[in-house]
A and B are shown apart, each in its own frame.
Chain A
Amino acid sequence: MSQTRFRGTDRYVATDDLMMAVNAAVTLGRPLLVKGEPGTGKTQLAEEVALALNRPFIQWHIKSTTKAQQGLYEYDAVSRLRDSQLGDARVHDIGNYIIKGKLWEAFTHELQPVLLIDEIDKADIEFPNDLLLELDRMEFHVYETQQLVKARHRPVIIITSNNEKELPDAFLRRCFFHYIRFPDPETMERIVRVHYPDLKKRLLSEALEAFFEIRDVPGLKKRPSTSELLDWIKLLVAEDIPPEALRGDAHKLIPPLHGALLKNEQDVHLFERLLFMSRRKKD
C-alpha cells in the first residue's frame, strides 16, 4: 500500500509538508482539505495525485447553486413526466431517470479513484454538512429505486477551499488539512523549472527577483501568483526578452510585459506611481 507514496510529479512540485498531508489522507482514507491563495496549485494537486498513484481522476466542481444531493444523484422528473405524456415505454422504469452524481461515480468505479471536490466554499454553508454521512459511511440510499450505493473502495478525496466561507467543525474534524503557503523563491524556482525546463538560468533568476519584488509592493489589490508568473515567463520567452532587461530592482525599472503580472488597472497605476516617486527620490 505504502509503496505508492505521493512525492509530486514531473509537472508538479510538492513540498514536504504537502506530501505528508496527502499521504496521511491516502493511507487513512480520509478527505484532505486544501486551502491557499489563488493560483497556488490547489486544483492541480488532485489531478497530480491521481497521476502519481495511477488512479482514475474524477472532478466535481462546486458552484454557488450546487447541492450535496447532486453529488449523489438527481431524479429527472421532468423528462419522466414528458415521456409519460408521450407514451414512451421508458417511463415505467424509474431508473431511466436517475442521473448519477460524481460521488456515485467515485463509489462505483472499478479502481479506487481520486475525487476532487473543487471550491467547496462556493456552495451553500450547509453543503459540507449534507455530505458528512455519505463520506463517513461511504454509502447512500437511492430513494426512488430503493437501491443502496456502496463504495467499492474508499476514494481518495481532495477538497479545495478559497476561504470564502468557514466550514463546519464536524466536517473539519474528519479531514486532514493543509494550507499551501505561497511558495518561497526556491520552491518557486522549482515550479517554474517543471513548466519551462529549458529556461535560461539568468532569465529565470532575474524574472523571479522582479516577481517577488512586485509581490512585495504594499497595497496591491491582487498580488500576482504562480499562474501569473508562469504566464509572464511564457511571454518573456516568446518575445525573446533578454535577462538584462529585467535586471535592477523593480523600483527603478518597469519590467517588460508587466501587464501579465498586474491585471488590475489600479495596481498598475499604483506600481507606476511608486516607481516614479522612487526615481525622483534618487535624482
Chain B
Amino acid sequence: MMTEFFRKLRQASIPVTLTEFLTLLEALNQRVTTHSIEEFYYLARATLVKDERHYDRFDQVFGSHFQGLETRFGEVVGATVPLEWLRKLAELTLSEDDKALIEALGGWEKLMETFAQRLAEQEGRHQGGNKWVGTAGTSPFGAYGYNPEGIRIGQDTSRHRRAVKVWDRREFRNLDDTVELGTRNIKVALRRLRRFAREGAAQELDLDDTIRSTARNAGYLELKMVPERHNAVKVLLFLDVGGSMDDHVRACEELFSAARGEFKHLEYFYFHNMIYEGLWKDNRRRYTEKIETLTVLRTFGADYKLILVGDATMSPYEITYPGGSVEHFNPEAGDVWLNRLLDIYSRAIWLNPQPQNRWSYVPSIQMVRELMGDRMYPLTLEGLEQGIRTLQRAR
C-alpha cells in the first residue's frame, strides 16, 4: 500500500527519492505521529514534497490513494516494503551520494534488517492497552501504534472544516505551475543562465582575497583573480507573434519581460510562424519597420545564444517552400533561414508553448524539431530548465 503510494507520487511527477521515503519511515519509527491520518498526511507532505508547487498534486494522489480508508488507517499503511522493489527504485532514483550512504550503512539487506529489528523492539515496548488491528507486526507502518478505532479526523481544527479532509480542500491548486510558465518561476530559470554567464568571463583582481593570501604568505604579494561579476551572457530572443500563436503571446511576453531584467545583452526580435528574410522589433509596426534578417545575423556575433519561442504550428509549406509564407512572398524557404541561423548560433534552442504531448500530432512541429536537432523544449519551467542546460553545454 505504501509502496504503491510512493509509486503514484512519482508517476504524478513529484520528484520523491528513496532518501526521503526512508526519512518518512524513520519519522514513523520515532513516533513523530501516532494517532491520526491527518497528522500522517502532514508528516508525509513535509517529508516527501519540497516545493509548494507540488502540494496540489500530492493532495490529489494522497486523496485518491487513501480514499475511504481513513478509518482503517492501521491496515492501510500496513504492508511490508519489499526489498526487491526498493532495489529497483534505488536504481532509478538514487544519486551516487545516496548509494554510497547506503553502502556505508552496510548495504540494503542490512538496512532492511535494522528496520525490521527496530520495529520489533518498538512493538515489544508498545504498551497502554491499545492493540492494532490489521496486518503483520513486521510492517513498517502498521506497527507504530496507529489505533484504527481511535482515529479522529480533523481534530483541533475548526468546526466547519471538519467535514472536508485537508487534502481534499485543494488549497494549493494555484501554486502548481508546471502547466504554464509564470513570471515567478521563469526568473528562477533565467538566473541559471546568468550564473553561467560568469563562467569564463574576464578576470578581475579580487582585492580581499589578494590581501588575505598575501598576509597568509607572510607578506609576499599573491595576486588573486575572480571572474568579473557582471553578467556577460548574450542572448538573442526571437518571438513568434500573430496567428495561431496569439494564445501564447502572453506567456512569451512574460518570458521576455522576465528576461529583460536579467541580461545586459539581450536583443529581441519578432517573427511570424517561421524565420524568413525579415524580422521586426516593434510588433505594432511590423509592416513598416522590417529589419533584414541578414543584418541581424551580421550584427550579433556567434557568441550570442539563440532562443526561439514559437508554437511551430503551421503548414509544412511555410517551412520547406519558397513562397510558402502566409503573409508575403518569401524568396527562400523557412528551413533555409533557420539553418542559416543555426550555422551561426551553435547554441540555440526552440521553446514551444504547445503542450508537449501534442507535438507528435503536428507535422510542422516535428519538422522544426528536426531542424533544431531535437533542441525543442516545452514552455514550462521544466522545459526552460532543460533548454538552458542545453544552452550552457559547450558545443
- List A residues at the B interface (Cβ < 8 Å): 2, 16-17, 20-21, 23-25, 27-28, 30, 32-33, 35, 75, 77-78, 80-81, 84, 125, 163, 165-166, 169-170, 172-179, 181, 186
Contact = CB atoms under 8 A, between A and B. Distances in A.
Contacts of B171: 181
A169 B20 CA distance: 12
Of the four ranges (under 10, 10 to 19, 20 to 34, 35 or more), the interface on chain B belongs to 35 or more
A24 B27 contact: yes
A175 B50 contact: yes
Interface stretch (B6-14, B28-36, B73-81, B230-238): B28-36
B302 interface: no
Contact of A125 (B27, B158, B191, B211): B191
A77 B212 contact: yes
Nearest to B42: A20
B157 to A, nearest CB: 7
Contact of B47 (A24, A165, A169): A24
A149 B171 CA distance: 44
Given A27-B30, A77-B215, A17 B42 contact: yes
B70 interface: no
B371 interface: no
26 contacts: A17-B45, A20-B32, A20-B33, A20-B42, A24-B27, A24-B43, A27-B30, A27-B32, A28-B32, A75-B216, A77-B211, A77-B212, A77-B215, A78-B215, A84-B219, A125-B191, A165-B191, A169-B15, A170-B97, A172-B50, A173-B17, A175-B50, A179-B52, A179-B55, A179-B175, A181-B171
Contacts, number: 87
Given A28-B27, A165-B188, A186 B158 contact: yes
A80 to B, nearest CB: 6
Given A21-B46, A24-B46, A163-B184, A81 B215 contact: yes
B337 interface: no
8 A-B pairs with least C-beta separation: A77-B215, A179-B52, A20-B42, A81-B215, A21-B46, A172-B50, A17-B42, A77-B212
B32 A33 contact: no
Interface in B84-138: 95, 97
A78 B212 contact: yes
Contact of A27 (B27, B39, B212): B27
Contacts of B33: 20
Contacts of A2: 31
Contacts of B51: 172, 177
